[in-house]
Copies of this chain bind each other. A is one copy, B any other.
């Protein structure tokens, strides 16, 4: 694999990517851990992601370029996230995905630990209605530290996604993806909210059926979210801008 860059990236796109880290921290989706990436806009074989750093602290200067083997192209001594392979391996097999969020948001984790599927409880989390696969690293790799710390593990994770834009990771967290940075962030935020709603809905239901979105409703509502969701992004983005002036 070449160590050539995919080319320069517009400063405002880099700033948006750095802001996305802070947005996810502010919304409680990530804490000291978690990361968000963006496929290089001009070079589909490259992606952009912060160096290993708490999401709330990321600035544009922390953004590093990677190839799809998750080798840093321009690290200049900056450390990389151990789990960057989640991003590289998904981008490799899913050309439709342009942005990826990995988090440990706490309401979502239970759905990776028991055989109860996460479902779409409201239109804002519509993309969930397509189905939510669960990746158990133990199946292929036995006892591990649970981290997706190499290409083989990243590829195994990507392989269970089966065309979906979300995957839960047993005893670890989840991944939400999208065709734009804004949509990936939006989906990560509302996956956590949706999980919280589903916990209460299942408690109320006591085993009875829930009128969740069906697959067709999910497709129709998700299409709207991809445009109307920009309203939420603009609010979140402006909050970051007011704090850091970029």
Contact = CB atoms under 8 A, between A and B. Distances in A.
A193 to B, nearest CB: 6
Given A122-B171, A173-B122, A199 B200 contact: yes
Interface residues of A, number: 69
B56 A235 contact: yes
A220 B104 contact: no
Interface of A: 31-33, 52-54, 56-57, 82, 104, 106-107, 109-116, 120-124, 126, 136, 138, 143-147, 170-173, 193, 196-197, 199-205, 208-214, 216-217, 220-221, 223-224, 228-229, 231-236, 238
A154 B231 CA distance: 22
Given A122-B104, A124-B33, A236-B32, A202 B204 contact: yes
A196 to B, nearest CB: 6
A59 to B, nearest CB: 13
B109 A171 contact: no
Contact of A223 (B31, B145, B233): B145
